[in-house]
Each structure stands twice: as C-alpha cells, then as structure tokens.
C-alpha cells in the first residue's frame, strides 16, 4: 500500500490518500483508516499522474485556498506532480503555489521525511507485530491493513511532529542558513576530483589506546604520506535549486 500525506507547520494534516495494489476497490479495505481518507487502486502500487490529480482535488477541498489567502504546497518533485499539466492548471486556477524541491535533497528538506514518515513506519510496524502476537498462526491480510495503519497514523500525526519537521528543514520559520555545504556532499561522479587520505599496507597506524612513537627514520617514507585533504567542500551540483512549477515559464 502506498500513501500520500500532507501536513502544515501549524499541525494540520490532510487526510491521506491510500493506494491499494489491485484493480478493483472494495470498501471494506477502508475500515479503520483515518477519518476523511480517500482511496485509489493501481496494480503497481506507484503513484500515477491521475491518482495524484485525485489527491490534489482532495487537498484543495481541505485547504480552501483563495486569492486573499493562497496556499503553498512543497512537493518532492515526483514526475506525477511536476510533469502533471492537470495539477499545474488546477493549482493556478485555485491559488495554490507548488514549490518543487531540488533532486536528491528530500532527506534534508522535506518535512514529512524529516519528522513524520519515519515515526509512522515505526508505529505501523509495532501495530503489525502486536497483531501477530495476538493472532498466532495467522498473517496480516489486506483487510487488516486499514485499521493497523489508522492506529499508527493517529499516534504519528501530531502538531509537535509537524512543527518539528518544518523547523528542522528551515522552511518555517524560514532559516536559509540551516544547511552548510557539507550537508550535501559531492556526488559519486565528483569524488575522483576530491583529495583523500590513502592508507598503504606499509603505513603505520595509530590509536588513542596504543601509541608507539617512531624509533627509526626509515619507519615512515615520503611515498607513504598522502596530501593533506582539502576542507573547502563545495555543494553537490546535482542538488540544484527549488522550482516554482506553477510559474508560466515552467508550465
């Protein structure tokens, strides 16, 4: 089962969209799910463009954006969002600005990933383990998933967790200096250009517990010494910058 979640820095959560790995929906699958949740089905489990369009209408219904009170939606940049013309058109018509995060940065800049999703997965696993202990010899079937997920969601969806997620990513309150270059290290393609310490088989090793000073000038040879590494780290060029995908040039 895939889930689409959304939260605000004030602690409000949009009821989730649950995607079941099947072609036909049965209403019993929604038993015990969070109040107001919606559902969709797809054999691959992946979020498709039409499914995200369905969720976006659900999002507009709950946030009620207006010209005087617009809404900003921070997206992780999945193709179902930033390449979805229907969603971009709906956003422009309903006063929603969609900000797409740079690639390879959601683990640092996405509030849901930073504070909410990890706890939700932990609580969900705990609910499954408890259910299995209470029902020995049985397995969790698709009809139990909704209730187990709903109980885990209630524990994780708190105002404090939402506020912590936005604070840790510097989105609210806005803190543009919350990250440093070393938070986004060089990509694998650039590692060859970065100096590194190389330990050869003949190079002596040291530890804080057992330190033996050199007793011979032949103990260390110049070829064994690697260059001093540069600490002038540069940001990963693959990270890029955020994009407002509801702007006309992007569209």
pLDDT digits (tens, 9 = 90+) for 181-208: 777 665 544 444 443 333 333 444 433 3
pLDDT band for position 78 (50/70/90)?
Answer: confident
* pLDDT on residue 221: 56
Separation of first and last alpha carbons in the chain: 31
Task: Tell me what pLDDT residue 208 has.
Answer: 39
- Residue 171: predicted pLDDT: 93
Percent of the chain at pLDDT > 90 equals: 60
pLDDT at 47 over 50: yes
What's the average model confidence in pLDDT over 106-115? Answer: 92
* pLDDT at residue 236 greater than cutoff 80: no
What are the strands of the beta sheet with 243-244, ordered from one edge? 71-75, 96-100, 243-244
pLDDT at 196 (0 to 100)? 38
pLDDT of residue 245: 85
Predicted confidence band at 68 (pLDDT cuts at 50, 70, 90)? very high
* Residue 130 clears pLDDT 90, i.e. is over it: yes
Rounded CA-CA distance 197/229 in Å is: 7
Entry pTM: 0.76
Is residue 76 pLDDT above 70, yes or no? Answer: yes
pLDDT of residue 244: 85
Residue 232 has pLDDT above 70, yes or no: no
pLDDT of residue 205: 40
**Average pLDDT score over the chain:** 82
Would you tell me how many other CB atoms lie within 10 Å of the CB of residue 145? 19
Residues in the chain: 251
Band (176; pLDDT cuts 50, 70, 90): confident
Task: Provide mean pLDDT across the span 173-187.
Answer: 76
Q: Tell me, what's the pLDDT at 228?
A: 61
């Amino acid at each position: 089962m895939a889930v689409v979640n959304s939260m605000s820095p004030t602690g409000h959560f949009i009821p989730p969209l649950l995607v079941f790995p099947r072609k036909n929906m049965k209403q019993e699958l929604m038993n015990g799910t969070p109040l107001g949740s919606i559902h969709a089905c797809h054999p691959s489990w992946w979020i498709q463009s039409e499914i995200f369009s369905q969720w976006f209408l659900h999002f507009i219904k709950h946030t009620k954006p207006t010209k005087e009170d617009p809404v900003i939606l921070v997206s992780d940049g999945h193709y179902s969002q930033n390449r979805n013309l229907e969603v971009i058109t709906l956003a422009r018509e309903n006063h929603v600005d969609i900000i797409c995060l740079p690639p390879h940065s959601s683990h640092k800049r996405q509030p849901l990933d930073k504070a909410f999703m990890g706890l939700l997965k932990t609580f969900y696993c705990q609910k499954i383990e408890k259910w299995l202990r209470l029902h020995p010899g049985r397995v969790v079937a698709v009809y139990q998933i909704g209730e187990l997920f709903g109980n885990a969601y209630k524990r994780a969806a708190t105002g404090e967790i939402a506020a912590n997620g936005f604070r840790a990513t510097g989105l609210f309150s806005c803190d543009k200096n919350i990250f440093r270059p070393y938070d986004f290290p060089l990509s694998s393609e650039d590692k060859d250009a970065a100096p590194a310490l190389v330990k050869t088989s003949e190079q002596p090793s040291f530890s804080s517990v057992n330190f033996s000073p050199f007793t011979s000038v032949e103990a260390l040879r110049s070829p064994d010494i690697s260059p001093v590494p540069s600490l002038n780290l540069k940001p990963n060029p693959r990270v890029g910058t955020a994009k407002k995908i509801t702007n006309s040039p992007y569209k």
